[in-house]
Amino acid sequence: MKRSKVPTPYILIKASTTSKWDEVTFAIIHLTTDWISRMAERVAAVSQFKANKEFFCQVYWDAPLGYYTGTLPGSLLDKILRRHEDYIYITLEAVEESTLPRPVNKLDVHQLFVTKNGIAHYRGYNRYTGEEFRTEEFNLSKLIQ
């Protein structure tokens, strides 16, 4: 996995968890053509509420490609993601994703929160413990342009 200066089909985004014993430091989102068109529909649907001060966000059943731990040699996350960045474009080989270390928790419920301003974040929950995994917020409107 390497940082890319140009847009790619993958972004790496900071993530966190409420778990006291499990770890997650980042998630990967796969920006397929289908994903981009679904997100464009969702942003358009919530943007009609911009004038409504009581509306905050719409929640969809959706998940990133996966949540991962930062327990790689030399801290991969620190090497490719700068301190002020929440997400970056990355190059990811086909087999590389399956070799990344995943958290122990198996997530059962996945949600995508989209605000009326096009800002979004993912959340995932463990069925039995209620522990939450979540990505940092990202500008969904900017990603789908």
**What are the pLDDT digits (tens) for 38-56?**
999 999 999 999 999 999 9
Dist CA 74 CA 24 (whole Å) = 16
Whole-number Cα distances in Å, 91 to 28, 29, 97? 11, 12, 11
Q: Residue 99 in contact with residue 43, Cβ under 8 Å?
A: no
**Amino acid 90: pLDDT:** 93
Residue percentage of the chain with pLDDT more than 90: 63
Q: Which of 127, 120, 122, 123 lies closest to 144 in space, CA to CA?
A: 120
Q: Is 35 helix (H, G, I), strand (E, B) or coil?
A: helix
What pTM, to 2 d.p., does this model score?
0.89
- Write out pLDDT tens, residues 107-126: 889 999 999 999 999 999 98
At residue 71's C-alpha, the angle toward residues 65 and 73, to 5°, is 115
Dist CA 56 CA 143 (whole Å) = 20
Q: Which of 8, 42, 17 lies closest to 119 in space, CA to CA?
A: 42
Can you give the pLDDT of all 145 residues of the chain as single tens digits?
888 999 999 999 999 999 988 888 899 999 999 999 999 999 999 999 999 999 999 999 999 999 988 765 446 667 777 778 888 999 988 788 888 888 888 888 999 999 999 999 999 998 888 899 999 999 999 999 8
Whole-number Cα distances in Å, 131 to 46, 62, 108, 124, 136? 28, 17, 11, 8, 16
Whole-number Cα distances in Å, 107 to 64, 104, 129, 131? 12, 9, 10, 9
Dist CA 87 CA 135 (whole Å) = 10
Q: Which of 62, 44, 54 lies closest to 122 in space, CA to CA?
A: 62
